[in-house]
Structure 1
């Protein structure tokens, strides 16, 4: 009796273009060797890139499967998608939620409990917004309704308990969104500061940018210029 091994995602890519698969494999091995980031953080950075850039096919599948092998559940990925939705846009995050549900079915994984611990985000019983005063003041200079939108988003993402992203993870993921969209001024500075407050060392923040280079080297180039200036100030 013969057995057939299940093809890896790199095998699937090689069937499409062997030379490109070798390039992708060498790149993935190079950035995966970055020691300052956990496997969980690497998975989050990959999935965030996929959602920001609308890459929900073979690459998204490979990133989710790599995360599963490293102990990152699809519930963790769903929590990430909820978190990044206000930066990448709910429309983009919706596509990610749809795709992760498809993958759970495809891979025979249980769909997570539909219950949610998210507090009521609006109305008289809503929790106070954790939006920092300095950020609120900057937003008020732009538009009061926009400040209210940030308050709403902040309330819905205030939970840092078990099953959620740590402050360090939130900072690293958020600054990576800035790299993808090249928003390298106020928001990038805020997100770098968030990662540092969450316990990331400057070298950890640099590691996140090194890892993100695989998703667009020219975007990373510009981000390096902004990051080096921010870290020099601090």
Structure 2
């Protein structure tokens, strides 16, 4: 269970206290500590919470609390839908589908109109001749081609679909934070983790901002965060020491 309690915190903690009062105390203390991290915006914290919910299949009370907190800080369900589309090929379509189902239930139960969205163009949905150019960096495509041609084609397709829709509501910094968080949850802490750190930095994040993402993610599992810290510190140590 995650620890967001900003929206009507008494009600949220009371619901937890009905299950176990000591656990509710633990949640409240952890929420305050994580939410006090200054380098991240409330919008970014909402996105990190939702990513954790989807990656860890925590789509009950915690997910609802995170969405409500996001709404209180100006994060719309359309923004959360864009986030789910964006992380879908990192966390898996099956996991993202569950997130969409739960979000649609939340919208219906709270009288929130389902956002209208333009469909993707045909050239983003195809492979081979007629497909839009791949937005993947050539160095990444080279690595993937050395693994398997079909896997490269799959990656190209996913990247085209993500570049053409949805992420336009997310900044590059937010996309980097979301992607590197998926890596921490799934412990994919090599090439993809490094690439996603680079995306966040290209989006204007400092090294301290990236570290703040790991600090915030500690509430979703300290053992995963521990391994994330080892990988992050080793990666930064291998770079130019300047921020």
- Following the alignment from structure 2 to structure 1, what is the Cα–Cα distance between the partners of residues 201 and 9? 41
Residues 8-50 of structure 1: per-residue CA shift (max 9 Å, x gap): 2222112111111110111011110111111111000000000
How many aligned residue pairs are there? 229
| 1:169 corresponds to 2:171 | no
Q: CA deviation at 1:119?
A: 3.1
Contact kept, 8 Å, 1:46 with 1:63, in 2: the verdict is yes
Provide structure 2 residue ranges, at least 5 long, that are not aligned to the other structure. 1-7
Task: Name the TM-score, length of structure 1 as normaliser.
Answer: 0.93
Contact kept, 8 Å, 2:172 with 2:200, in 1: the verdict is yes
| 1:96 corresponds to 2:99 | yes
Structure 1 pair 222/161, CA: closer, same or farther in 2 (3 Å)?
closer
Structure 1 pair 159/38, CA: closer, same or farther in 2 (3 Å)?
farther
Question: Matched residue of 1:129: which SS?
Answer: coil
Residues 134-180 of structure 1: per-residue CA shift (max 9 Å, x gap): 11011111101100001001101114888521111111100000000
Query: Could you tell me which residue of structure 2 aligns to residue 116 of structure 1?
Result: 118
| 1:61 corresponds to 2:64 | yes
Contact kept, 8 Å, 1:31 with 1:214, in 2: the verdict is yes
- Following the alignment from structure 1 to structure 2, what is the Cα–Cα distance between the partners of residues 18 and 163? 42
Contact kept, 8 Å, 1:76 with 1:163, in 2: the verdict is no
What does 1:22-41 correspond to in 2, within 5 Å?
22-41=25-44
- Following the alignment from structure 1 to structure 2, what is the Cα–Cα distance between the partners of residues 81 and 169? 13
Query: Could you tell me which residue of structure 2 aligns to residue 17 of structure 1?
Result: 20
Superposition CA RMSD, Å: 1.8
The farther-off stretch of 153-162 and 85-94 is 153-162
Contact kept, 8 Å, 2:177 with 2:197, in 1: the verdict is yes
What does 1:46-57 correspond to in 2, within 5 Å?
46-57=49-60
What does 1:79-228 correspond to in 2, within 5 Å?
79-113=82-116, 115-120=117-122, 121=124, 122=126, 124-159=129-164, 164-228=169-233
- Following the alignment from structure 2 to structure 1, what is the Cα–Cα distance between the partners of residues 186 and 167? 30
Residues 53-75 of structure 1: per-residue CA shift (max 9 Å, x gap): 00000000011000000000011
Task: Name the TM-score, length of structure 2 as normaliser.
Answer: 0.90
